[in-house]
Amino acid sequence: MRSEDGGPFNISEMIFHHTGDAHELDFQPLFTIPLPHWEPVHIGSLVVDLSPTKHVVFLILAAVLTFLLLKLASIGVARARREGRAPRGFAGFMEMFVLWVRQDMAIANIGHESGARYAPLVMTFFFFILICNILGLMPWGASPTGNLAVTGALAILAFLVIEIGGMLKLGFKGYMGTIFPKIPGMDGAMGLVMSVALAPIEILSKFVKPIALAIRLFGNMLAGHFVILSLFGIVFMFGSIEYFRWGIGTVTAAVVLGVMALELFVAFLQAYVFALLSAVFIGLMQHEH
Amino acid sequence: MTLPLLLLIQEAEHAVEAGGLPAPFQPTLGLVIWTWVVFIALLIVLAKFVYPGLVKMTADREATINQQLAEAKRLQAEAEAGLEEQRALLAAARGEAQAIVGEARDAAERERASAVARTRTEQEEILARAKQEIAAEGERAKAEMRREAVDLAIAAAGKVIGRQLDADADRTLVEDYLSEIGSQA
């Protein structure tokens, strides 16, 4: 295998080619589909290139798949309901899955009165991120969640929901209490000084939470792909060695299989962690006093 | 460990300089906006068309289960109340039965006691009458015997002295004598 500029095989170029965004859909060695370049949009002084890239396509694909998966489940559940029996098979499994996310992740952490209102967000986080993660493990697939822009955007959404939800629930005075905490047992001037002194830490913690969400998801997905691609790279790097290449190739393929299985687990785990932590943060904010 | 990473970052910078797209570390605003659009659209579609169906089923089922639970609880409470009532009734009935049995026993006891007492007085009466009769009979027999004895004595004495004793005067004599003997005896 040669690198694209015709030089010798370059493993880091291969890795970045596969994990990075691109203006084409890569189905090598069969074909590639070029994606259109759109004129950048000017918003004030900001120049935004909204051209659909590889990750945009996979984002939309993930959204469509998530919708179809849940829609099929809901059709199956509705049919089972009409026939007066419990849903079976795929619908039953998905119903259990959806209810688990709704009850044990959203409502258990946010609380009974407002949990139902935030449950759709948490459920969408979970299923959308799960599908995004799994898409990266498919042949010719890519994980949009392995891109910091995507996880950052999702984390910003979570941040907005956490903070705005808190403001709506607590009111202005209550919300300011989450920035200037009231220290138990400290009144008067000393309490005020401590509140103001702690405010930077409180503000920092508000921002650290979504940043941690974004970096954790992005880092886990990207690192998984790096590991798999690096191991695959071994095959190409040693492909020119006589005799030994068969052994190297076999061992590498076995290791990659194991890592793939691990990545499948990580795909579930990271979707779970992102959705669960969003629910926990929303719940923490709702119950702040 | 650090060297490959540095190499990777260097490669990424090369790629950007060469006019390619940035590596995953460098977020582009375009992708951020696309993510928002896609995610929010998905959220709205799911929340409008999919979740209500899935969740309504559950909510309905939950409501049914809750209703059945409440019904079961109500029935159980009812059954318990009924049982309590039965128990109270049974206790009352048992008390009543005991009272009746006790009363009957008391009545029987009284009856027996009175019967015994009546029998005893009757016996005593009979006994007393019998004693009286025996005593009277004795007296009469004694008097009879005495009269016989006097007659015999007089007859014997008359024979002995060969003359007819004056019946009445002698009778008095003999009777005095006999009573003397009687008192000596």
Q: What is the pLDDT of residues B89-105, one digit of tens each?
A: 999 999 999 999 999 99
Would the CB atoms of B7 and A12 count as touching at under 8 Å? yes
Q: How far is B13 from chain A (nearest CA, A)?
A: 11
Q: How far is A61 from chain B (nearest CA, A)?
A: 10
Q: Sign of the CA dihedral B2, B3, B4, B5?
A: positive
Would the CB atoms of A78 and B47 count as touching at under 8 Å? no
Per-residue confidence (pLDDT) for residue B150, from 0 to 100: 85
pLDDT digits (tens, 9 = 90+) for B128-155: 999 999 999 999 998 998 888 888 888 7
Per-residue confidence (pLDDT) for residue B53, from 0 to 100: 79
B64 touches chain A (CB under 8 A): no
Would the CB atoms of B24 and A20 count as touching at under 8 Å? yes
Which of A60, A74, A98 shows the shortest C-beta gap to B38?
A60
Domain range spanning residue B133?
26-184
Residue A164 lies in a domain: yes
Residue B121 lies in a domain: yes
Indicate the number of domains in chain B: 1
Contacts of A128 in chain B (CB under 8 A): 39, 42
B9 touches chain A (CB under 8 A): no
Q: Check residues B69 and B63 and name the one with the higher pLDDT.
A: B69
Average confidence score pLDDT of chain B: 82
Would the CB atoms of A21 and B28 count as touching at under 8 Å? yes
Q: How far is B81 from chain A (nearest CA, A)?
A: 34
Strand-pair partners of B3 = none
Residue B15 lies in a domain: no
Residue A173 lies in a domain: yes
Distances (CA, A) of A9 to A15, A16, A235, B134: 11, 13, 11, 157
Which of A77, A148, A153 shows the shortest C-beta gap to B54?
A77
- DSSP line for chain A: ---TTSSS--HHHHHHHHHS--SEEEETTTEEEEPPPPPPEEETTEEE-----HHHHHHHHHHHHHHHHHHHHHHHHHHHHHTTS---HHHHHHHHHHHIIIIIIIIHHH-HHHHHHHHHHHHHHHHHHHHHHHHTTSTT---GGGSHHHHHHHHHHHHHHHHHHHHHHHHHHHHHHHHSPPPTT--HHHHHHHHHHHHHHHHHHHHHHHHHHHHHHHHHHHHHHHHHHHHHHHHHHTTTSTTHHHHHHHHHHHHHHHHHHHHHHHHHHHHHHHHHHHHHHHHHHHT--
Q: Which residue of A has its CA nearest to B4?
A: A12
Residue B80 lies in a domain: yes
- The SS3 call for residue B18 is coil
Residue B12 lies in a domain: no
Residue A205 lies in a domain: yes
Residue B6 lies in a domain: no
The CA R_g of chain B, rounded to the nearest whole Å, is 67
Q: Is the pLDDT of residue B7 over 70?
A: no
Per-residue confidence (pLDDT) for residue A2, from 0 to 100: 42
Contacts of A107 in chain B (CB under 8 A): none
Q: Which two tokens stand for residue B83?
A: 């049982």
Would the CB atoms of A95 and B54 count as touching at under 8 Å? yes
Q: Which residue stretches of chain A have pLDDT < 70? A: 1-9, 289
Furthest CA-CA distance within chain B: 201
Would you say B66 and A90 are in contact if contact means Cβ atoms under 8 Å apart?
no
Per-residue confidence (pLDDT) for residue B13, from 0 to 100: 55
A227 touches chain B (CB under 8 A): no
Assign residue A282 a region: left if phi > 0, alpha if psi is -120 to 50, beta otherwise? alpha
Q: How far is A49 from chain B (nearest CA, A)?
A: 5
Q: How far is A51 from chain B (nearest CA, A)?
A: 7
How many Å apart are CA A228 and CA B28, to the nearest integer? 25
- pTM of this structure: 0.69
How many Å apart are CA B118 and CA B130, to the nearest integer? 18
Would the CB atoms of A120 and B7 count as touching at under 8 Å? no
Residue B3 lies in a domain: no
Indicate the number of domains in chain A: 1
Per-residue confidence (pLDDT) for residue B168, from 0 to 100: 73
Would the CB atoms of B35 and A124 count as touching at under 8 Å? no
How many CA atoms lie within 13 Å of A279's alpha carbon, on the beta-carbon side? 31
At residue A143, what are phi and psi to the nearest 5 degrees?
-95, 110
Contact residues for A102 (Cβ-Cβ < 8 A; gap 6+): A119, A122, A123, B55, B58
Per-residue confidence (pLDDT) for residue B3, from 0 to 100: 59
pLDDT digits (tens, 9 = 90+) for A136-185: 888 888 888 988 889 999 999 999 999 998 888 888 888 888 888 887 77
pLDDT digits (tens, 9 = 90+) for B28-62: 888 888 899 999 999 999 988 888 878 776 677 77
Distances (CA, A) of B61 to A104, B43, B64, B67: 17, 24, 5, 10
Residue B10 lies in a domain: no
